[in-house]
Structure 1
Amino acid sequence: MGVKEVFERAKSVEIERSHHTSNKEETHQSDLPGQGAPGLAPVPALYEAPPRSDITLEEYMFYAQVQREQEKLYGAAGVAVEANAPHGSGYLTDAKEKKPSSEDASQHSQGGVQAGVAKPQVNNTDASTFDQLDGLSDTEKESRNAHRAIKTATWVAIFYLITTDILGPYGAPYAMSQNGYVTGNVMYIVMGFCAWWCGILLWKLFMQLDSARYPVKTYGDLGERVVGSWMRWLFNALQTLQLIINVGLLCLTNGQALSQVISGAPGNANLCFSVCVVIFSLIGMAFAQVQTFRGLGFAASTAVYQNIAIVIISMAAIIKYGPYIAGAQASYGNDYPYNNQPVMTSAFVSYDITQKVNGLMNMVFAYGGAMIFPELMAEMRRPMDFWKGMIGAQALICTVYLVYANVVYAYQGQYVLGQSYNGIAKYSFQTVCNMLAILSGTIAAALYGNVGLKVVYVNTVQAVFKGPALNTPRGRVIWASISVVYWALAFVIASSIPQVQTISGLIAAIAIMNFSYSFPFMLALIFYIKRDAMQGDVAYAPGYPALRQDTWRQWSRWQRGLFGGHYEIGGIVIPSILIKVVLLFMTLGSYTLSGLGMYGSGESIKEVFDSTAAATSFGCAAPV
């Protein structure tokens, strides 16, 4: 059976499941453009109801070890998934019937098992022929095989996806202006390094917990397996909050861009700012009625080039025409302390702590993309290569941020706006950047809204209220109703806090800071303690419960968890407790910074509304 047949069969199985299975078995997809195999329809089985809670960490880790060994032997997902590769009903049917020869290996990009290669062993189990799906129902096997079939993304594709999702340097100059050259550059590099570090930690957790039998598909899966089911619900709630505020922020920036284009046009044209935000909220409601976004795949893939075009055009225009003082006055007020002064820059600035923290939260927002890293790894042909794409993307993103922030701050100083392209003094260049930003922002808002709605639908409608599958007539009606409420809430968020720099700082403090920094450090710390405590336990065997020599109520297990384990970096052995102390320090520091960011953002929002020239909630005056 070829890949095409697998996709068709998966579709028919999913339709049948929606009519004949319980709500716990109903699944549906997140159709993110750019993910999955080019030209192939995504399999509708990416989101599932929460898995069983009785599975132990030892079982997850055993199957993950088997998975990694099978990937080394047979290519992606344990067995090659090239167009002509056979896929039987069993997970390794083709591997059992015929081991790939050296001649076969030359025909497959990932190679095969050649003669003389030792068979890998995992807990005295031959990983080369072990069937991970043994004991699952036929429906579950179909679902797992369908998911395995779409694991085709390469590390190069991951590089583009991460860059497309994260790269958005328009708030970088504002963050630099709130901290100064020295503090701003140092913090951008430090935050970039920490973002890379946390990406590596998420990758390591994925590699030790993901398998064909128990695939990791979302951030919540990692939280549940390391901590418990309550952590999945916390992650899902924060993810929903982040996505809806993200959607509101995009409606706000698009409305701000549209208002600026209209008000700057020849004549006396004008449109109420809140109406501009309403327009994009209504567009979002219309897009939300389309449950998949395969048609937007090409447009979404061009977002990175649109961003680069805006960066180049805005830098050139700002260098030539200088600051847009009228826009700064509209945003910060005529009583702004540095108003009507020459452009001023500084290595260090004397703003109060709340403004500096809000600038720092904008830096956090700039690197906020770790929430989707597990989803990206879940679609990779070789997840072990994720680090290549992630490091390359983070290096490019950090470089662009530093160059853009320094150049714009140097030429605009204290007049930098929250969205830098809004601060172009020449209307023609300002309009070009605004229109490009509206196009990319509309696509991004549609995607975030789609993902956010599916998170709400799966975890609320299906998991809590036992509602119907999304692809049923009743499911589509419920979806349409929820989408209207969802985008209405996004409008309320955007219009109630009509300042880009403050709302981006707020969402960074509440969710992005934690998903990108706090949670990876915390999950890694807890996982390493639990993993190292397994020393001395009976090795896990499939079909048998985990046998532990003691419990967490005994100091002996804590002792092994804290001081056990072996860590070696570059041939240097590092004490286990030192690694865990560092992770604990970073976890507490991240949570502290998150709390400080919430306070700083709240104070910044208060100051904005106290300003006489600031745009008011649900008002007609534009922020710029």
Structure 2
Amino acid sequence: MSMLPGLAVATAPTEQMRELGADEDDVRKMSIAGTHPGVRQRLWGLEARLDPTVTFEEFTYWAKVEREMEQEESARYKSLTSGQGFMGVIKNYFTSNAYEDAKVRDATHASEDRDQGIQWSEKKSPDTEEGALSPIAPAGTHDFDADDGYGLGAGIFLLMGLAAGASGWMIWYVFLGLDSSRYPVLSFGDPFFRLYGPKIRHFINFTQALQMFLTVAVVLLGQTGIIAQLAGSVNLCFIVCGIISLVVSIASGYMRSLKHLGWFCNSAVWINIVSFIIVCAAAAKYGPDPTAAVQTGILNKDWVTNPAPVKTFANAPPPEYQQSNADPFAAKFNGINSMVYAYSGAIMFVAFLSEMRHPMDFWKAMLVAQAFITGVYIFFGAFVYSFYGQYAYVSITQSVKPLNLQVVGNVLSLITGWLAVFLYFNVGMKTVYLEVGQELFNLPAITTRKGKYLWWALGPVYWIIAFVISMSIPQFSAFTNFVGGLFSLNFTYSLSGVMCLGYKIQQAAKLPGEGFDPATGETTRLDGGYKRWVRGFRKSWKLSIPILIFTGCGFAASGMGTWAAILALEEAFSQSVLTSWTCTNPYYTG
């Protein structure tokens, strides 16, 4: 049943819908005039999303209203902006509010849409489309066969792809149930606030910001290695290569919005495909360049000048053919740590959903992205492993021969890598700015002039700290696996399960006569506490038990993956593998 007033409805809820587009003064006037007797005066919008007095029932009530409004707005948007041809689509994409401009062009709808248009523009960027969900996976996702072998690697990667699809669905499902213009969901921590309270939200925000920060450091180190290999013929100092990567990254931090990233992300997909083709062709014809895999890992250092024959395995390779961990059991989990990067975009799903015009269509983009990643990477990983074997390095373009194809592949990797760096920085920096800067230190809103200047000033600090950490790690693949095991596995699988479990339990715990009354602004509950959670779990057990098992498996995989990555880091330090604070270029060919 629709919660929006239709033509046949002439009751009080019509005035309630007027309130959606009203500012504080209008709401106060309605209350004084008796239009809405008894409605509590509270903030809505960005300032109200963390209001502790708002109940779960009120969040879900307005979320249902929001979804119905989005359906109407999406249909109207499509009718107003359709039939404009290719150039019209281009113009709308680079217009700050294509929907409002379209309404101006179509005067017949101008007055009809006024109130809802105001409300809409405050929450969404109407040009943020599903294309922004296109997969941008770091180059390290296709060396899983080098850690686990053919059969185990492909099987686990397929399983993780199916699990990632389930995880994305859970995040999407909870977002639709809790997000509204009155109480927008903007970050991964917001649903946890509404389901578990402020302490859990602070923990989620801290760990999310830390993961984004360390992921930026991982990609910075990877970019530095690629630049060093490109400049190997002139023996460019490795630290200078890092500084080049840092400067380019700082420049990308100038942009604050994800709004126009859709086309860039789609371009990155095609760049990756071109890179895959180059790597496959080179692998089949020329074999591997062992330098990157040997110099940055634990393989026999003599293999740089006198490479051992390429060997492949159906299961985990023996210790002498492992790149980062001599323990075959631990190496299997390092392979999982590497695989999760292909699916680790889940941490950014809430940020994308919050800027989408029609978030109910999210599942389509997610399904296409997950299917694309799973199919392409399983084929690519198995194909490249067949020709590169133990030399299938985490940044695969660095193992390509001959030199001219290696250069092309590395340049393409730099382009997609910097786009990935910007995405992780943008979400991580916004989490720090919104949840720490604005909430704890009362910094100005990021949309204001002062907020913009502060963003530009704090961004370089963020990048420099990430750069220092990245240059202090002795082994790129081990560092990558550590971040993947401790953070990416949890944010991709475990925490999405925790989020969905809390939502389903609270939703199922509702008793007859309970709920939110929009006329009075009051929520009726007949009980609370532990008893309510137990009842909700029992009533939703058919879905809650599978989600609980899914969540437990995610935490277990994270624990084992982190253990394996720590062993690899210990082994790297014990072998005196150099950190990146050196001028020695490991790829010097002179």
Shorter-chain TM-score: what band? 0.7 to 0.9
Q: Which residue identity lines up with residue 161 of structure 1 in the other structure?
A: A
Amino acid of the structure 1 residue aligned with 2:543 = I
The match for 1:205 is 174
- 1:616 aligned onto 2:579: yes
SS in 1 for 2:578: coil
- Residues in 1 aligned to 2:435 and 2:195: alpha-carbon distance in whole angstroms: 19
C-alpha displacement at 1:422, in angstroms?
0.6
How far does residue 66 in structure 1 lie from its aligned partner after superposition?
A: 2.3
Deviation of the 1:383 alpha carbon: 2.2
| Candidates 309, 332, 337, aligned match of 1:356 | 332
Q: 8 Å contact 1:67–1:212 — kept in the other structure? A: yes
- Aligned to 1:434, the other structure's residue is in SS state helix
Partner of 2:187: 218
Counterpart residue number, 1:343: 310
SS at match of 2:471: helix
**Residue 253 (1) aligns with residue 222 (2):** yes
Q: Which amino acid aligns with 2:438?
A: Q
Q: In the alignment, which residue of structure 1 is the partner of 2:19?
A: none
Shift of 1:240: 1.4
User: In 2, distance between residues paired with 1:49 and 1:397?
Assistant: 38
Query: Which of the residues 536, 547, 551 maps onto 2:528?
Result: 551
Counterpart in 1 of 2:566? 602
Alignment partner, residue 94 of structure 2 = none
Query: What is the aligned counterpart of 1:193 among 159, 162, 178?
Result: 162
After TM superposition, give the deviation of residue 292 of structure 1 in Å: 5.6
Q: Secondary structure at the match of 1:332?
A: coil
Correspondence for 1:161: 132
Secondary structure in structure 2 of the residue aligned to 1:496: coil
Deviations 1:489-548 (A, max 9, x none): 111121111533222212212221121101111111111111111133423211332211
Judge conservation of contact 2:211–2:483 (CA < 8 Å) in 1: yes
Shift of 1:396: 0.6
- The one of 196, 205, 211 aligned to 1:242: 211
Distance 2:427 2:534 in 1: 42
**Which one of 215, 221, 241 corresponds to residue 276 of structure 1?**
241
Instruction: Tell me the CA shift for residue 78 of structure 1.
Output: 11
How many angstroms does 1:203 deviate by?
1.4
Show CA shifts across 1:568-601 (max 9, x none).
xxxxxxxx32422221122122112212222211
Match of 1:94 in 2: 112
- Mapped to 2, the partners of 1:245 and 1:185 lie a distance apart of 27
Distance 2:472 2:512 in 1: 57
Q: Judging changes above 3 Å, is the alpha-carbon distance between structure 1 residues 559 and 303 closer, same or farther for their aligned structure 2 residues?
A: closer
Matched, 1:562 2:537: yes
CA spacing shift, 1:234–1:498, aligned 2, 3 Å: same
1:151 equivalenced with 2:126 (yes/no): yes
SS at match of 2:528: coil
1:284 Cα shift?
A: 2.4
The AA in structure 2 aligned to 1:428 is N
The match for 2:68 is 69
Q: Give me the whole-angstrom Cα distance separating, in 2, the residues matched to 1:80 and 1:203.
A: 26
Question: Are 1:308 and 2:277 an aligned pair?
Answer: no
SS at match of 1:94: coil
**Would you say the 8 A contact 2:143–2:392 is kept in 1?**
yes
Give the secondary structure class of the aligned counterpart of 2:148: helix
Change beyond 3 A, Cα 1:337–1:515: farther
Contact map agreement 2:132 2:261 (CA 8 A) in 1: no
Is the Cα–Cα contact under 8 Å of residues 321 and 426 in structure 1 kept in the other structure? yes
* CA distance, structure 1, for counterparts of residue 548 and residue 489 of structure 2: 16
Higher mean alpha-carbon deviation, 69-78 vs 529-538, is at 69-78
State the Cα deviation string for residues 136-182 of structure 1 (Å, max 9, x = none).
xxxxx95x4313563355xxx52x422243x34x3234221111111
Greater helix share, structure number: 2
Equivalent position of 2:434 in the other structure: 458
Deviation, 1:334, is 6.0
Partners of 1:46 and 1:514 in 2: CA distance: 30
Partner of 1:437: 413
* Amino acid aligned to 1:61: T
CA distance in 2, matches of 1:316, 1:559: 58
**Secondary structure of the residue that 2:231 maps to in structure 1?**
helix
CA separation of 1:376 and 1:56: change in aligned 2, threshold 3 A: same
Q: How many angstroms does 1:235 deviate by?
A: 2.2
Q: Which moved more, 1:407-416 or 1:603-612?
A: 603-612
Identity %: 31
Please list, as runs of the form range in 1=range in 2, the aligned pairs for 1:406-421 lying within 5 A after superposition: 406-421=382-397
Shift in Å at residue 202 of structure 1?
1.1
Quickly say closer, same or farther: Cα 1:77–1:61, change in 2 above 3 A: farther
Deviation for aligned residue 1:224: 1.5
Q: CA deviation at 1:232?
A: 2.5
2:381 pairs with 1:382 = no
Q: 1:525 to 1:295 in 2, by over 3 A?
A: closer
The 1:86/1:532 distance shift into structure 2, 3 A limit, reads farther
Mapped contact 2:171–2:496 kept (Cα < 8 A): yes
Contact 1:56 1:546 in 2 (8 A): yes
Give the conservation status (yes or no) of the 8 Å contact 1:178–1:355: yes
Shift of 1:186: 0.7
Query: Counterpart of 2:529 in 1: which secondary structure?
Result: coil
The corresponding residue for 1:138 is: none
Q: Which runs of 5+ in 2 are unaligned?
A: 1-23, 25-43, 82-98, 319-326
Say which SS state the counterpart of residue 324 (structure 1) adopts.
coil
| 1:375-431 deviations in Å (ceiling 9; x for gaps) | 222333332222111111100111111011001111111121111111113111111
CA distance in 1, matches of 2:545, 2:72: 37
1:56-109, Cα deviation, whole Å (9 max, x unpaired): 01111111222333444554699987544489xxxx9837x9xxxxxxxxxxxx
Change in CA separation of 1:205 and 1:499 when aligned onto 2, cut-off 3 Å: same
Does the C-alpha gap of structure 1 residues 284 and 531 become closer, same or farther in structure 2, counting only changes over 3 Å? same
Q: Which moved more, 1:508-517 or 1:475-484?
A: 475-484
> Of the candidates 319, 323, 339, which is equivalent to residue 284 of structure 2?
319
Given the superposition, is the C-alpha separation of residues 259 and 71 from structure 1 closer, same or farther in structure 2, using an over 3 Å criterion? closer
Q: Which amino acid aligns with 2:548?
A: L
* Pair 1:248–1:323, CA change in 2 (3 A): same
Taking the aligned partners of 2:484 and 2:210, their CA distance within structure 1 comes to 11
1:177 aligns with one of 138, 143, 146: 146
Alpha-carbon distance in 2 for matches of 1:317, 1:387? 36
Question: Which residue matches 1:586?
Answer: 550
User: What is the alpha-carbon distance in structure 1 between the residues aligned to residue 450 and residue 293 of structure 2?
Assistant: 50
Q: CA deviation at 1:617?
A: 4.2
SS of 1:253 mapped into structure 2: helix
- The 1:204/1:296 distance shift into structure 2, 3 A limit, reads closer
Q: Is the contact made by 2:508 and 2:537 (CA closer than 8 Å) also made in structure 1? A: yes
> 1:86·1:94 contact (CA, 8 Å) conserved in 2?
no
Amino acid at match of 1:56: T
Alpha-carbon displacement from aligned partner over 1:360-382 (angstroms, at most 9, x marks no partner): 11111221001121222233333
What is the alpha-carbon distance in structure 2 between the residues aligned to residue 505 and residue 591 of structure 1? 16
Shift of 1:193: 0.2
Go from structure 1 to structure 2 and tell me whether the alpha carbon gap of 1:553 and 1:517 turns closer, same or farther (over 3 Å shift): closer
Distance 1:374 1:258, change over 3 A: same
After superposition, the Cα gap between the structure-2 partners of 1:381 and 1:475, relative to the gap in structure 1 and judged at 3 Å, is closer
User: Structure 2: how far apart are the matches of 1:516 and 1:454?
Assistant: 19
Tell me if the contact between 1:409 and 1:416 (Cα under 8 Å) persists in the aligned partners: yes
What is the Cα-based RMSD across aligned positions, in Å? 3.3
Partner of 1:36: none
Q: Structure 1 residues 559, 172: closer, same or farther in 2, change over 3 A?
A: closer
Separation in structure 2 between the aligned mates of residue 524 and residue 253 of structure 1, nearest angstrom: 34
Q: Secondary structure at the match of 1:540?
A: strand
The answer to which of 588-597 and 520-529 deviates more is 588-597
Counterpart check, 1:532 vs 2:514: no
Question: TM-score by structure 2 length?
Answer: 0.79
Equivalent of residue 470 in structure 2, options 486, 494, 497: 494
Give the C-alpha shift of residue 553 in structure 1.
Answer: 4.3
Moved more, 331-340 or 60-69: 331-340
> Greater shift after overlay, 446-455 or 173-182?
446-455
Q: 1:227 to 1:425 in 2, by over 3 A?
A: same
